[in-house]
Homo-oligomer: A and B are copies of this chain.
């Protein structure tokens, strides 16, 4: 029989040309020689926590049980920001507590643990937790070794997701969660939220623009027109056929849009 090799999936903003991803891979394989390292991406825009979170949410659910995701988009490394291990029903997530796991918190039941960096019995460079904290802990997990002694349960973790606000009867404000590099505006409004409403009638308003229909493809509207679509993670997005919805509607990640039922 062949034992199935455990998967460690890597997601960083390091690029590859400086060798930092190589250092993480080397360290992982030194601890867990049979780990199956899978690159999700190393091309996240530097420090773009929201892009990393959306990249992760677009793929994590497809991975086998017990996959360990190591996410290193970490502008706060060297400061007091915590490190986290998040355990969901099927998966483990390891990385900084800066919001990269925001969408996991929205979609999964989970337990969260703070990494007690001071308890690690090996050398840790203050500026490279990807190599010295997250990779070795992920490798130990993948090698089926307990890391409990380096963790403590925590209830506090950072998220960039702001809740939908009810402003009056049948009137809500929906915050933006992400603007992708095409300028599509992703809203904190999931397909399952819509199902719960048990209505097909609704209106999204952005200043003077009103949307009452959810389209399936860009091609259903003319070039230059705005539209609503579900994105690949089932979040509602405002898009523009042939342009940037965010730019042309003056929307930032701090914005909210109106929802009327």
CB within 8 Å of B: which residues of A?
2-5, 7, 9, 11, 15-27, 29-30, 33-34, 36-45, 51, 54-64, 67, 78, 125-128, 131, 180-181, 216-217, 232
Knowing A2-B2, A39-B39, A128-B232, say if A63 contacts B26 (CB, 8 Å).
yes
List residues of chain B with CB within 8 A of the CB of A60.
22, 26
- Determine how many copies of this chain the complex contains: 3
A16 touches B43 (CB 8 A): yes
CB atoms of A27 and B127 under 8 A apart? no
Known: A21-B41, A26-B63, A125-B232. 8 other contacts (CB 8 A): A7-B29, A9-B22, A16-B40, A17-B44, A18-B55, A19-B57, A25-B59, A26-B59
Task: Tell me the complex Cα distance, A184–B121, Å.
Answer: 32
User: Which of B7, B37, B51 is the one whose CB lies under 8 Å from A17?
Assistant: B51
5 pairs, CB–CB < 8 Å, chain A vs chain B:
A9-B26, A21-B41, A25-B63, A29-B36, A33-B64
Q: Which of A26, A56, A67 has the most CB of B within 10 A?
A: A26
Query: A4: which B residues are within 8 A, CB to CB?
Result: 33-34
